[in-house]
Structure 1
Amino acid sequence: MTDSSVHTEAAVTPATGPEGQGKDKGEDGRGRGPRQRSSRRAGRILRWSAASLAVLVLGTAGAGYFYYEHLNHNIKKARLNLGDSAAPEAAPNAAGQTPLNILLIGSDSRNTARNLKLGGSRDDVGRPPLADVQMLVHLSADRTNMSVVSLPRDTMIPIPKCTDPKNGHVYDALPLAMANRSLERGGPGCTVAAWTELTHHQVHIDHFMMVDFSGVVDMADAIGGVPVCVDQNVWSRHGSGLKLRKGETRVTGVQALQWLRTRYGFEDGTDIGRTHAQHMYMNSMARELRKNARIDKPAQMRALAEAATKALTVDDGLGTIKKLYDLMGEMQKVPTERITTTTLPVVEWPQDPDRRIPAPGDAEQVLSMIIDDAPMDGRASTPKPAQQPQDPSQDTAAAQADIAVQVRNGTGSATLAQVPGRAGAVVQVLQGKGFTRAVQDGTAASGADTSVQFPSADLEGDAQAVAEALGIPSGRVHQSTGVSGVTLTVGADWRTGDAYPKTVTPDRPPASAAVQHGDEVGCMKVQKGYTW
Structure 2
Amino acid sequence: MSRKHSPARARSTSRKLSVGGWVAIITTALVICGSLTAYAGYHNISSNLNQENVNTDKFGDRPTKVEGVTNILVVGSDARDGENADYGEAEGERPDTLAIAQLLPEEKSANLVNLPRDSIVAMPACDPVEGKDNKPGQEAHTGMIGEAMNSGGMQCLWKTVEQLTGVHIDHFVSVDFTGFKGMVNSVGGVPMCIPEPVTDEKAGGLELEAGKQTLNGEDALGYVRSRKGQGDGSDLSRIKRQQDFMGAMLKKVTSGDMLTSPTNINDFLASVTESLTTDDELNLSTMSDLAITMREVSMDDITFVTVPNGPHPNDPNRLQWSQPAADELFNALANGQSLAEDDKDSGGDGDGGGGSVEPQEVSAEVINATGITGLAEEVSGGLRERDFRVAGTGNPRGEVPDQTTVYYGDGQKKHAEALADELSTATVESNPALGETVQLVLSSDWDGFQGSGDSGGVPDGVEGKTASDAEVECG
Which TM-score tier does this pair reach, normalised by the shorter chain? 0.5 to 0.7
User: For 1:50 and 1:151, how far apart are their aligned partners in 2?
Assistant: 25
User: For 1:254 and 1:159, how far apart are their aligned partners in 2?
Assistant: 34
Task: Provide closer, same or farther for how the CA distance between residues 364 and 267 of structure 1 changes in structure 2, counting only shifts above 3 A.
Answer: farther
User: For 1:346 and 1:334, how far apart are their aligned partners in 2?
Assistant: 29
Task: Provide closer, same or farther for how the CA distance between residues 332 and 164 of structure 1 changes in structure 2, counting only shifts above 3 A.
Answer: farther
Q: Residue deviations 1:147-185, cap 9 Å, x none?
A: 100011110112222234533876233332111112112
Q: Among 211, 218, 222, which residue is 1:258 paired with? A: 222
- The offset of 1:75, in angstroms, is 0.7
Matched, 1:514 2:463: yes
Q: Say if 1:188 and 1:210, in contact at 8 Å, map to a contact too.
A: no
List aligned pairs for 1:55-74, cutoff 5 A: 55=38, 57-58=39-40, 67-74=41-48
The unaligned stretches of length 5 or more in structure 2 are 1-12, 350-355, 358-363, 365-423, 427-444
Per the normalisation by structure 2, the TM-score is: 0.68
User: For 2:28 and 2:92, how far apart are their aligned partners in 1?
Assistant: 21
User: For 1:88 and 1:52, how far apart are their aligned partners in 2?
Assistant: 31
Q: Among 15, 20, 23, which residue is 1:9 paired with? A: 23
- The offset of 1:518, in angstroms, is 1.8
Aligned-partner SS, 1:309: helix
Aligned-partner SS, 1:378: coil
Q: Residue deviations 1:102-150, cap 9 Å, x none?
A: 11001100111x2011x122xx3xx431112111011226142111000
User: For 2:336 and 2:36, how far apart are their aligned partners in 1?
Assistant: 32
RMSD: 3.5
Q: Say if 2:97 and 2:116, in contact at 8 Å, map to a contact too.
A: yes
Q: What code does the residue aligned with 1:120 have?
A: G
Q: Among 165, 174, 177, which residue is 1:199 paired with? A: 165
The unaligned stretches of length 5 or more in structure 1 are 16-45, 59-66, 93-97, 387-471, 475-498, 526-532
Matched, 1:120 2:88: yes
Matched, 1:344 2:307: yes
Q: What code does the residue aligned with 2:84 have?
A: N
Q: How many residues align?
A: 361
User: For 1:331 and 1:296, how far apart are their aligned partners in 2?
Assistant: 17
User: For 2:136 and 2:197, how far apart are their aligned partners in 1?
Assistant: 48
Q: Say if 1:143 and 1:330, in contact at 8 Å, map to a contact too.
A: no
Task: Provide closer, same or farther for how the CA distance between residues 141 and 80 of structure 1 changes in structure 2, counting only shifts above 3 A.
Answer: farther
User: For 2:149 and 2:141, how far apart are their aligned partners in 1?
Assistant: 16
User: For 1:245 and 1:144, how far apart are their aligned partners in 2?
Assistant: 38
Q: Among 142, 145, 160, which residue is 2:109 paired with? A: 145
Residue 177 of structure 2 corresponds to 213
Residue 253 of structure 2 corresponds to 289
Q: What code does the residue aligned with 1:199 have?
A: T
Q: Residue deviations 1:368-392, cap 9 Å, x none?
A: 22122222222167999x9xxxxxx
Percent of residue pairs identical: 26
User: For 1:14 and 1:352, how far apart are their aligned partners in 2?
Assistant: 35
User: For 1:317 and 1:301, how far apart are their aligned partners in 2?
Assistant: 22
Aligned-partner SS, 1:87: coil
Q: Among 98, 103, 107, which residue is 2:77 paired with? A: 107
- The offset of 1:197, in angstroms, is 0.9
User: For 1:53 and 1:110, how far apart are their aligned partners in 2?
Assistant: 30
Q: Say if 2:191 and 2:215, in contact at 8 Å, map to a contact too.
A: yes
User: For 1:152 and 1:91, how far apart are their aligned partners in 2?
Assistant: 25
User: For 2:37 and 2:328, how far apart are their aligned partners in 1?
Assistant: 42
Residue 297 of structure 2 corresponds to 334
List aligned pairs for 1:217-256, cutoff 5 A: 217-237=181-201, 239=203, 241-256=205-220
List aligned pairs for 1:26-425, cutoff 5 A: 53-55=36-38, 57-58=39-40, 67-81=41-55, 84-85=59-60, 87-92=62-67, 98-112=68-82, 114-117=83-86, 119-121=87-89, 124=90, 127-140=91-104, 142-167=106-131, 171-200=137-166, 203-237=167-201, 239=203, 241-294=205-258, 297-318=261-282, 320-379=283-342
Q: What code does the residue aligned with 1:11 have?
A: I
User: For 1:329 and 1:188, how far apart are their aligned partners in 2?
Assistant: 27
Q: Say if 1:247 and 1:523, in contact at 8 Å, map to a contact too.
A: no
